[in-house]
Amino acid sequence: MYSEGLINKGGCMKKLINNPDNVVKEAMEGMEKAHGDILKINYDPAFIARKDSPKKGKVAVISGGGSGHEPMHGGLVGFGMLDAACPGAVFTSPTPDQMEAATKAVNGGAGVLHLVKNYTGDVMNFQMAADICASEGIKVESIIIDDDVAVKDSLYTAGRRGVGSTVLTEKIIGSSAERGDNLETVVKFAKYCKDNGRSMGMALTSCALPSVGKPIFEIGDEDIEMGVGIHGEPGRERMKIKPANELVDMMIEPVLSDISLKNGDEIIMMLNGMGGTPLIELYLLFNRAVEVASKKGIKTVRCLVGNYITSLEMQGFSITVMKANADILKLWDAPVHTAAIRWGI
C-alpha cells in the first residue's frame, strides 16, 4: 500500500510522504495553494516563478538546485528576490530544460542573471541552458557561489561548495534588480557577494532521501561532522560532540578570517538550521557567534536566524557571514515579499 521510502528500518528516518517520486511535485502544489498570491508554478518543466513575471525592462534573477534545501530556492521567489527558481529532484541538479524554460518565461528584455551554487551538475546544467538562451538572443550572465570554507574540493564539487551565501546574495541582487539596476550593476553586486560571503556548517545527524529512506551517511551517537556539506558530504573532521560555544568558535573563526574581516567592519550574519534543529538552539548558537565577532570588533548589523538552506531533517547548523557596507545594507533593507523572507511590504 505504501512505499518503502516512508520508513527507514535502520534508524529514525520516517517520512511524511506519499510516493518518493512525487514529493517535489506535491510540495510545489502545496506552495501554489499557500502562496498563489505571489507565485505561479510551471510543472513541466518544473519551475516556480513570480506571479507578475515577466517584468518588462527589469533584470531577471534565477536560481535553482536540488530539492531538499527548502525554503531555498522556491521560498525565495517574489518581489525583491528571485524571479524564478528551478527545483531538481531531492539532492539532484535540475535539468537544463528547466532553467531554459524559466529563463525564457521571466526574461523582461533587460537580461537574466543565473545564480548558481557550485556543484558540478548545477554548473553544467545552468551553463547549457544559458548557452541555448544566449544563442536565441537572450542576454544571460552567470555567477557561481562557492562560499563554503570547510573543504577545498568535495564529493560533488570542484572547488568550494556553494551554500548559505546564496540566500544573502539572492536578497541583495534581487533588490538591485527590483529597483531597476541594469544587468551590469546586478552582476557587480553578485560578484561582491561572491567575494565577501563565507560559510561553514556542521551536522549532528544525517538525513534520508525519500527515494532511499536510509541515512545518507552513518554517524555515531556521540559524533558530529564538522564542515559538513548540505548533501551530507564529508567536511573537515569527524569528532566527538562538544559544547555549543566550542562548536561555534571552531566555525566562525575560519569564516571570519577567510574574508579578512577586521576591527570596525560590519557584517550580515545568517545562523542557519539544517532542518531538524530546534529554533531555541539556533538562537543560543547565534548568541555566541555574535559575541565572538564582537570581541574582534566586528559588528553584526543585520541577521537571519532560522531554517533557510536545509538538508531535509538533518540536525546541525551553519554560519554565513557577509561583509556589509552602506550600498549592501540599503539593498538588504529594501522591501521583500517571498514565502520565507518578507519585510517592508
42 near its own copies, judged by CB under 8 A? no
- Of positions 6, 38, 134, 216, contacts its own copies by CB under 8 A: 6
Q: In angstroms, rounded to a whole number, what is the distance separating the alpha carbons of residues 332 and 307? A: 18
Instruction: Give the residue with the Cβ less far from its own copies, 167 or 224.
Output: 224
Of 107-166, which residues contact its own copies (CB under 8 A)? none
What DSSP string describes 76-109? Answer: GBSBTSBSEEEEEEETSPPPHHHHHHHHHHH--S
26 near its own copies, judged by CB under 8 A? yes
Instruction: Give the residue with the Cβ less far from its own copies, 133 or 282.
Output: 282
Q: Can you say whether residue 56 is alpha, beta or left, with left for phi > 0 and alpha for psi between -120 and 50 degrees?
A: beta
Q: In angstroms, rounded to a whole number, what is the distance separating the alpha carbons of residues 36 and 12? A: 34
Least distance (Å) from its own copies to the CB of residue 260?
Answer: 24
102 near its own copies, judged by CB under 8 A? no
Least distance (Å) from its own copies to the CB of residue 241?
Answer: 5
Q: What is the DSSP letter of 333?
A: H
67 near its own copies, judged by CB under 8 A? yes
Instruction: Give the residue with the Cβ less far from its own copies, 71 or 174.
Output: 71
3-state secondary structure (DSSP) of residue 188: helix
Instruction: Give the residue with the Cβ less far from its own copies, 96 or 306.
Output: 306
Catalytic-role residue among 69, 73, 114, 337 = 69
Least distance (Å) from its own copies to the CB of residue 289?
Answer: 9
Of 157-216, which residues contact its own copies (CB under 8 A)? 204-205, 207
Of 219-238, which residues contact its own copies (CB under 8 A)? 221-222, 224
Q: How far is CA 124 from CA 4, 118, 121, 286, 310, in A?
A: 32, 10, 5, 35, 23
Q: How far is CA 4 from CA 12, 206, 234, in A?
A: 14, 19, 27
77 near its own copies, judged by CB under 8 A? no
Other Cβ atoms within 10 Å of 56 Cβ, number: 8
Least distance (Å) from its own copies to the CB of residue 126?
Answer: 22
- Of positions 62, 173, 209, 285, contacts its own copies by CB under 8 A: 285
Least distance (Å) from its own copies to the CB of residue 276?
Answer: 4
**Amino acid code (one letter) for 185:** T
Q: In angstroms, rounded to a whole number, what is the distance separating the alpha carbons of residues 25 and 29? A: 6
The stretch near its own copies (CB under 8 A) out of 22-30, 41-49, 173-181, 225-233 is: 22-30
Least distance (Å) from its own copies to the CB of residue 189?
Answer: 24
- Is residue 231 flagged as an active site residue? yes
Q: In angstroms, rounded to a whole number, what is the distance separating the alpha carbons of residues 328 and 19? A: 43
- Is residue 337 flagged as an active site residue? no
Q: In angstroms, rounded to a whole number, what is the distance separating the alpha carbons of residues 10 and 325? A: 49
- Per-residue burial over 158-181, b if 16 or more Cβ lie within 10 Å, else e, is eebbbbbbbbbbbbbbbbbbbeeb
**Amino acid code (one letter) for 306:** G
18 near its own copies, judged by CB under 8 A? yes
305 near its own copies, judged by CB under 8 A? yes
Instruction: Give the residue with the Cβ less far from its own copies, 82 or 143.
Output: 82
Instruction: Please list the active-site residues.
Output: 69, 231
